[in-house]
Every structure is written in structure tokens, then in C-alpha cells.
Amino acid sequence: MNSLHRIIKAVFVLGTIAILASGCTKPQHSLTAAGATFPYPVYAQWFEAYHRETGVKINYQPMGSGAGVEQLRRRTTDFGASDVAVQDDILQSMPRQIIQLPAVAGAVVIAYQLPGLQKPLQLDGPVLADIFLGKVQRWNDTRIAGLNPGVTLPDLAISPVRRSDGSGTTGIFTSYLAAVSPQWKQQVGVGKSVAWPVGIGAKGNSGVAGVIKQSPGALGYIELAYAEHNHLQFAALRNSAGNFVLPSVTATTAAAAGAVDRLQKDIRASIVNASGEQSYPIAAFTYLLVYANLENAQKANELKGFLQWAMSDGQHMAEKLYYAPLPPQVVVLNKKVIQKIQ
């Protein structure tokens, strides 16, 4: 009996120690977010690094920009992400004031699969628009050949691939097409979702990359990191200065740098088809969306801590992941706004 009593007492003591120890353990805090797939490669690295440093876990669902805005509207997430700045009509429909913060800049590339070609194709905006309008249908079309002298192009159908979900990447791409093609602007327009004249739909940047990778003759638009990670071919595009420029961090930075004055007036200013000899023409900022006032003080502090980190340590991680860090002037603007979150 004494032996049984000692065992029960030992179990009770050990249980008490475990409870006390668990009470001393630093709690694991978390934030939830959803939205753009365009910046997901860099966001995934940010969230992992920030969790290691602070213990704050950020659960992010790369659902597309449209879904990210909608989830934030429903207040099922702590913050959202969109590749297209939210315009006034959407802002007015949100339950509370929204703050928009550029996170990094990225390039939308024109990826394709043409086995046998040794160097990148050269394309321009009007030809690209006509491919997605269904007017240019084969790779050996005279207009593509004219942009690529000396290159033997296959007599192969072009299979355009586009997003099937509401997508900020689509918003960036269609804004570029509208800037370079009056017919596209009038007939199709700009948006996260549009009525595509032609094309195969796929969900997310990863979905479009997957279709291109599996389909000889395919052409589509994806973020640079997805093209690099999937080892896809991508085109050099003629910019507003008339130069053919391959997408790169340097060419994206050149496009962003030229927009600083406009960004200081309106953080939503576009950098599509920017001026500059070396600017890549389909470049854009991607945005984090947060409520200016949160109901939970702890969540507000955790969110402010992450955003401040993203403007410092996070920016240093961007380039190796094929994203362009923000211009210093934009970082300063963001830091001032972050302080206003309550």
C-alpha cells in the first residue's frame, strides 16, 4: 500500500512540474494572411525567417489577389496581399480603413516552351496583345519573325496560357497590354479577371508554369521566380525606350526607381511600361493590405513588428529570390504608415 502511495505521489509531483513548466514556456503567437501568388516565393522565406527569430508564426494561403482582398473584407485574416493596389471603390466597401504597403517589386515574364531555341525570343507589346487576342496564332508568324531576325521559328500553334482565378498578376499583365494596344484596352480592358478572347486557364502562377512546362508551343505570363524555379524559357521585351530587355532584378529596380516621385504622391502609382533605357516593361509592386485599426492589441503589435522587419531584414532577402527591394524612399514612406497601425 505504501508502495502504491509513493507511485501516486510521484505521478502527482511530475504532473505538477509539467504544468508549471508549460506555463513558463513562451507562447506561440500566430497571424493569418491570404492573397497573391506573385510574391509567394519571397513571402514564404520571410515568414519562415521571422518565425525563427520571433516565434510568431504567419499562416499564409496563396489564393490569388482577388481572394486575398475578399478574405480581408470578411475579416477572416489578419492581413492580405495583392499584386494590384486596391482602388477607391473597393476601399470604400471594406469594413474599416485599409493601409496599403508596397512589399517588393517583381517582374511578370512571358514564358514559353519552344524546344531547340538556344537564345531568348524577342517580343513587343503589340504582338503579345495580338497573341492573346487570337490574331497571331503560330510561332512562325511574320511579325514574330520580324522581331527575331536570323532565328528559325517552328511552324507550331501558339497555345496561350492565362490565369483562371482572380489574379493580381493578371491585373499587372492586362494593364501592360492596355498600355501598348488600343484594341486590347477597348475590347478586353484591365482587371484581376477579364473575358479572355483565347487561352487555356490555370490557377495560380504555379499552375500557369506547370501548363507551359508540359505543353510544347505554350506561352503565358508568370512571375520571374516561377520561371526561374521551373527552368522555363522567357522572352526579352521591347521597352518604352525601344530596347529589348530581359526580366531581372536590375531591370525591375530600374522601372521602380523611375516612379519614386509619383509614389510619394500616391503609393498606388503604376510602374508598368516605365521610362528608362534598361527598364523591364512588365514590372510592378506587390502590396500588403492591413487594417489601420485592429480589435486585438496583441495582433496589432505582432503585425507591426512583422511589417517593420519586412522593411529592413526582409528587403535584404528579396534579390536572391528574384525580387527587387523597395527604393529607400518607399521604405521611409512605409515605416511612417506602419507606426499608425493601432
- Over residues 166-185, the pLDDT tens digits come to 888 999 999 999 999 999 99
- Mean pLDDT of all residues in the chain? 90
- Over residues 50-66, the pLDDT tens digits come to 999 999 999 999 999 88
In-domain check, residue 20:
no
Residue 58: all three cell numbers together: 504567419
Nearest of 210, 207, 216, 223 to residue 165 by alpha carbon: 207
Q: Are residues 243 and 296 in the same domain?
A: no
In-domain check, residue 220:
yes
Q: Are residues 153 and 193 in the same domain?
A: yes
Q: Are residues 93 and 134 in the same domain?
A: no
Question: CB–CB of 104/285 below 8 Å?
Answer: yes
Q: Is the pLDDT of residue 260 over 90?
A: no
Q: Are residues 169 and 233 in the same domain?
A: yes
Q: Are residues 115 and 71 in the same domain?
A: no
- Over residues 263-289, the pLDDT tens digits come to 888 888 889 999 889 999 999 999 999
Q: Are residues 128 and 100 in the same domain?
A: no
In-domain check, residue 21:
no
pLDDT at position 177 is: 98
Q: Are residues 111 and 245 in the same domain?
A: yes
Burial class (CB in 10 A: 0-12, 13-18, 19+), 204: buried
- Among residues 258, 292, 315, which one ends one of the domains? 258
CATH of the domain at 214: 3.40.190.10
Q: Are residues 156 and 229 in the same domain?
A: yes
What's the angle, vertex CA 49, arms to CA 46 and CA 52, rounded to 5?
145
> In the block, which residue shows the cell 511612417?
336
Q: Is the pLDDT of residue 92 over 60?
A: yes
Q: Is the pLDDT of residue 26 over 60?
A: no
Q: Specify the number of domains making up the chain.
A: 2
Radius of gyration (C-alpha) of the chain in whole angstroms: 24
In-domain check, residue 277:
no
Confidence at 29, pLDDT banded by 50, 70, 90: confident
d(CA 85, CA 268) in angstroms, rounded, equals 5
Confidence at 28, pLDDT banded by 50, 70, 90: low
d(CA 43, CA 184) in angstroms, rounded, equals 32
Q: Are residues 142 and 214 in the same domain?
A: yes
In-domain check, residue 228:
yes
Nearest of 192, 196, 162 to residue 67 by alpha carbon: 192
pLDDT at position 190 is: 96
What's the angle, vertex CA 309, arms to CA 304 and CA 311, rounded to 5?
100
d(CA 309, CA 317) in angstroms, rounded, equals 11
Report the relative pairing of strands 244-245 and 200-202 from DSSP bridges. Answer: unpaired
Q: Are residues 117 and 251 in the same domain?
A: yes
Q: Are residues 47 and 117 in the same domain?
A: no
Q: Are residues 206 and 324 in the same domain?
A: no
In-domain check, residue 39:
yes
In-domain check, residue 274:
no
Domain that holds residue 84: 30-105+283-338
